[in-house]
Structure 1
Amino acid sequence: MRYTLRQIEYFIATAETGSITLASERVNISQPSISTAIAHLEEELGTQLFIRRHAQGLSLTSAGRLLLVEAKQLIEQAEHVYSVASEVGERVRGQLSLGCFITLAPMVMPELSHSFTSTYPESRIVQTVADHEQLLERLLSAELDVAITYDLLIPDEFEFLPLASLPPHVVVSEAGPLARHSAVSLQELAREPLILLDLPISREYFLSMFMKEGLEPNIASRSTHQDVIRTMVANGYGYTLANVRPRCELALDGRRVSRVRLSGDHRPMVIGVLTLSQSRKPRLVTVFEEHCRRFVSDAYIPGMVAPVMERRTFLGQIDGDGSLPGDGSSS
């Protein structure tokens, strides 16, 4: 055999991204190294794997598509060798394919992944960011080993380990009138313009809160991008509902948003670790689950204001007459 597993990994990265530039960023190696590896594979195998289109990047040939299936199986088998060795020697090593829900990823993923690989230096984490439905699909197809997501519509073939509970709250412009309220109800919000997070299942979660109270929200705009929504809110286009609590209150354009408590009894979203149900999980997965259990809780969530700390903040704001500063009822 005159090709290496590393060359196979470079081929997979290029095939899945359709670009040597993007493949280079994914595997953190130079573009010439990627090009050389692919050229070597094509020469060794005696077939063209990619069609080069300057404007459209790379696309797989029929032979390339067949090789991609085999290449993924080859890498999976190679990783399994590490898993077996790890379990026999009680060492934690190998590659973990980790997915994360798109709104959680910017805050949770970097610190959680770094802390794990620092604790277990022979491990490596490959990160994927996606919405909830995509995470389920990729776990089922074995593209992912584990995912950090919410407890929304978990099918029976999955296991969910709860870590922390995030009640919904309202995000408003710091300069807007709602920012002066200590709390606001859905009845008060129904007539205000809503900038809706338009992701599968998340969308239904937020809209169901209005339906439960017989209300219809005034949806002014929708976006699948959390940062776009925060910037629109900061610029006064409307409010949004959210569960994540970034430590920074700045939108990407430098304007500020404010969090306002949502009054009433609303189902929280629970952050947890999602895996396929199986009789015996790989040691790397079980160790990662335990790491998450120790690292994420109501008292501490990477990149976020933890729910316990936020509850203490609300309690600390209560003044002598039992109202909160800025609450219209105290005037």
Structure 2
Amino acid sequence: MAKPFTLTQLRYFAVVAELENMTAAAEQLHVTQSALSASLAQLEASLSTQLFVRLKTRGLRLTGSGRQFALDIKVFLEQADSLYESARGMGTSLVGELKVGVFAPLAPFRLPTILQTFETEHPGVEVSFMEADLAELQSALLDGQCDTALMYGLGLGRGFTHQVLERVPPHVLVHAGHPAASRPSRQIALKELDGEPSVVLDLPHSREYYQQLYAAAGVRPNVRHRFAGYETVRSFVAKGHGYALLNQRLHSDVTYSGGRVVALALTDDFPPIEVMLVRPEGVQPTRRALAFEETCAQVYWAAKD
């Protein structure tokens, strides 16, 4: 039996669900606001479900059912687009939008290469990025603001599936004039730095991870400065304001401030951070998301060689 709603209604709903603003959605869809409102009302009546809560001063907000419905129809709408492209003889190409979340400190490392490779293979896909901290990315995935996310697995809660791309051990960063910087072994135990000032990468879940490392080493960190920016931490270390515990390593030892830093491997048996691709559990990924994840895996695999 045919369902009493149309593809147009689903497309209208998808845009309104993303913007949560009837006026903005009508402008984007090039339809009148009254026509859009009527379409959504018919869709809710057909489903016998309230998809939105209407707020006088704050526009629309998705209900729990509406949020789940918005996630579920992504794949359906992509399949509808694929059917259209197949009928035009272009069934092997991917088209449409892809929204990718990325943990801010990870963004400068391999993401530019990933995008370059992906755009070469799938020029019809328009990729946009949401750069955020780990807690924000989990919320964005569950709310449907991004299709997949490149992030650390720190603090990852229930309701997600993931694919590990890389395991990165922690290291210590010191300025070029630090006594340990000239060691031939380029190694150090964290306990040796006990009492020295430190510069901390202060982001949700990352800070807890580093606190665990300090506790395991029996060190009470003498935190001098806290920053949310990875390069800011490096620049302050380079100018002698303290050492830092970090994971990702840059190829260059020169910082934005013009100073030099030296990376020292830790002799402590600390757990690495896992770099992974994460998406919501129970939501079928789009072909675009799967293709992007495949490109990520290829780039990370090639970097190991």
Normalising by structure 1, what TM-score? 0.68
Match of 2:279 among 268, 275, 280: 275
Q: CA deviation at 1:83?
A: 4.3
Cα RMSD between the aligned structures? 3.4
- Is this contact kept in 1: 2:74–2:286, CA < 8 A? no
Partner of 1:163: 165
- TM-aligned CA distance change 1:235 to 1:106, over 3 Å: same
1:217 aligns with 2:237: no
Instruction: Please name the residue that 2:121 is paired with.
Output: 119
- Rounded to whole Å, the distance in 2 between the matches of 1:176 and 1:185 is 15
Question: Does the 8 Å CA contact 1:101/1:132 hold for their aligned counterparts?
Answer: yes
Given candidates 87, 96, 112, the residue that maps to 1:94 is 96
How much has 1:44 moved relative to structure 2?
Answer: 5.7
Aligned match of 1:259 in 257, 263, 271? 263
Instruction: Answer yes or no: is the 8 Å Cα contact 1:151–1:271 preserved in 2.
Output: yes
Q: Which consecutive residues of structure 2, in runs of 5 or more, have no partner in the other structure? A: 1-7, 35-54
Of the three residues 220, 232, 235, the one matched with 2:236 is 232
Cα distance change of structure 1 residues 159 and 235 upon mapping to structure 2, 3 Å threshold: same
Report how far residue 179 of structure 1 moved: 1.2
Correspondent of 2:108 among 88, 106, 109: 106
Query: Residues 213 and 176 (structure 1 numbering): CA distance in 2 closer, same or farther, change over 3 Å?
Result: closer
1:154 aligned residue (153, 156, 167): 156
- Residue 66 in structure 1 maps to residue 59 in structure 2: yes
Q: How far has the Cα of 1:269 moved from its partner? A: 0.6
Between the aligned partners of 2:152 and 2:74, the Cα distance in structure 1 is: 31
Residue 65 of structure 1 deviates from its aligned partner by: 4.3
Residue deviations 1:254-297 (CA, integer Å, cap 9, x gap): 22111111112110011110011126322212222222121113
Q: 1:35-64 CA deviation, whole Å, 9 max, x = no partner?
A: xx79x98x9659xxxxxxxxxxxxxxx778
1:91 to partner: Cα distance:
3.2
User: What residue number does 2:130 align with?
Assistant: 128
Alignment partners' CA distance in 1, 2:190 and 2:93: 51
How big is the shift at 1:150?
A: 1.0
Residue aligned with 2:119, SS: helix
**Structure 1 residues 85 and 229: alpha-carbon distance in aligned structure 2, compared to 1, 3 A threshold:** same
- 1:68 deviation in Å? 8.7
Partner AA of 1:94 in structure 2: G
Query: Residues 78 and 270 of structure 1: is their aligned pair in 2 closer, same or farther, counting only changes over 3 Å?
Result: closer
State the one-letter code of the partner of 2:59. Answer: L
1:296 pairs with 2:300: yes
Letter aligned with residue 109 of structure 2: M
Give the corresponding residue for 1:195: 199
Pairwise CA distance, 1:153? 2.2
Shift in Å, 1:164: 0.9
* TM-score normalised by L of structure 2: 0.73
- Alignment length (residue pairs): 257
AA at the equivalent of 2:191 = Q
The corresponding residue for 1:248 is 252
Flag structure 1 segments of 5+ consecutive residues without an equivalent: 16-33, 47-61, 301-305, 309-331
Structure 2 counterpart of 1:123, one-letter code: V
